[in-house]
């Protein structure tokens, strides 16, 4: 690991001021991806800005049509928070299935989104719910936030502060996980809102998380597993590696999507 300075600001304003003066500094949330990368010298930074103590990042608010979750919440906190369980149970269940116990007790919502691992769960949840990512500078819709593998719309010095989720009528997330890492080989989040359906896929896209518009259209007409039984996703747009071929991932998307719809209907 290369040497670096360590900063632990007390307020978001202090963090933003430091990041403005130090464009190459990295933000430290849960550190579940960043710290191993730094330890293996696959990345380096002149400074780490630890945002874990910032009170602005830990609020949760449930309103009539919106659930707002602070970016600093650990996965385990998202999974167990009463307002999340009441407002969007599918979000709580997705958080409960991330990684292992250590990852869930250290990793954060904002850190996962900023890292945008192509096999992570939260990107599918956020895109599948049509959420809005709030930073210290602006609000970014989920459809514009994820821009590629490990890439987002975030600018240097921009800190994710919260995610605003519209409350769905029903929703569910189902994934086929790697048994070792518990990352998704394919994960599908399905939600039905007021007059619309969203289907988001993680773990499969060569460019990261993506929506399946054909499934959304068919489920909008009939929200049932059989409505998308014949829907196909082209394998040439999917990733292929030692864990699964693109063709296998294409098959899994259909299977996981139908299971997600069934789970949303049953509420489980």
Taking the CA atoms of residue 143, residue 147, residue 150 and residue 154 in that order, the dihedral angle to the nearest 10 degrees is: -80
Domain residues for the domain of 177 are: 171-266
Distances (CA, A) of 101 to 77, 95, 112, 115: 12, 11, 16, 20
Same domain for 62 and 81, yes or no, is yes
Domain count, the chain: 2
Same domain for 156 and 206, yes or no, is no
Same domain for 176 and 161, yes or no, is no
CATH code for position 243: 3.30.390.50
The end-to-end CA distance of the chain, in Å, is: 44
- Final residue belonging to a domain, choices 115, 133, 166: 166
pLDDT digits (tens, 9 = 90+) for 6-42: 999 999 999 999 998 888 899 999 988 888 888 888 8
pLDDT for the residue numbered 181: 84
CATH code for position 129: 3.30.465.10
Same domain for 182 and 159, yes or no, is no
Same domain for 29 and 150, yes or no, is yes
pTM score of the predicted model:
0.94
pLDDT for the residue numbered 36: 86
Same domain for 84 and 183, yes or no, is no
Would the pLDDT of 268 be above 80?
A: no
Q: Which of 113, 156, 157, 134 is nearest to 13 (CA)?
A: 157
- Final residue belonging to a domain, choices 166, 194, 228: 166
What is the mean predicted confidence (pLDDT) over 86-114? 96
Same domain for 146 and 182, yes or no, is no
Same domain for 147 and 209, yes or no, is no
**Kind plus residue range of the DSSP H or E element containing 252:** helix 246-266
**In a 3-state reduction of DSSP, which class is residue 134?**
strand
- Final residue belonging to a domain, choices 166, 196, 219: 166
Contacts of 3 (CB under 8 A, 6+ apart): none
Same domain for 161 and 177, yes or no, is no
What one-character DSSP code corresponds to residue 108? B
Same domain for 135 and 184, yes or no, is no
> Tokens representing 62?
């449930």
Same domain for 135 and 189, yes or no, is no
**Average pLDDT across the chain, whole number:** 95
pLDDT for the residue numbered 179: 87
Same domain for 157 and 175, yes or no, is no
**Kind plus residue range of the DSSP H or E element containing 77:** helix 75-80
pLDDT for the residue numbered 35: 86
């Amino acid at each position: 690991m290369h040497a670096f300075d360590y900063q632990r600001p007390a307020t978001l304003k202090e963090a933003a001021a430091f990041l403005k003066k130090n464009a190459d500094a990295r933000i430290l949330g849960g550190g579940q991806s960043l710290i191993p990368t730094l330890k293996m010298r696959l990345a380096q930074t002149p400074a780490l800005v630890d945002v874990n103590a910032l009170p602005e990042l830990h609020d949760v608010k449930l309103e009539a049509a919106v659930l707002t979750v602070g970016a600093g919440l650990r996965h385990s906190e998202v999974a167990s928070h009463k307002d999340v369980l009441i407002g969007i149970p599918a979000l709580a269940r997705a958080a409960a299935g991330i990684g292992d116990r250590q990852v869930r007790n250290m990793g954060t919502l904002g850190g996962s989104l900023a890292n945008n691992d192509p096999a992570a769960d939260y990107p599918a949840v956020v895109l599948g719910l049509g959420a809005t990512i709030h930073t210290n500078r602006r609000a970014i819709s989920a459809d514009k936030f994820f821009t590629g593998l490990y890439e987002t719309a975030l600018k240097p010095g921009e800190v994710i502060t919260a995610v605003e989720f519209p409350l769905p009528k029903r929703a569910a997330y189902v994934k086929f996980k790697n048994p070792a890492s518990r990352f998704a080989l394919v994960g599908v989040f399905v939600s039905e809102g007021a007059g619309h359906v969203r289907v988001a896929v993680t773990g499969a896209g060569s460019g990261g998380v993506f929506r399946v518009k054909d499934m959304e259209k068919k489920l909008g007409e009939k929200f049932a597993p059989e409505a998308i039984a014949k829907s196909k996703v082209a394998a040439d747009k999917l990733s292929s590696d030692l864990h699964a071929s693109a063709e296998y991932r294409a098959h899994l998307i259909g299977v996981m999507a139908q299971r997600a719809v069934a789970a949303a209907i049953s509420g489980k």
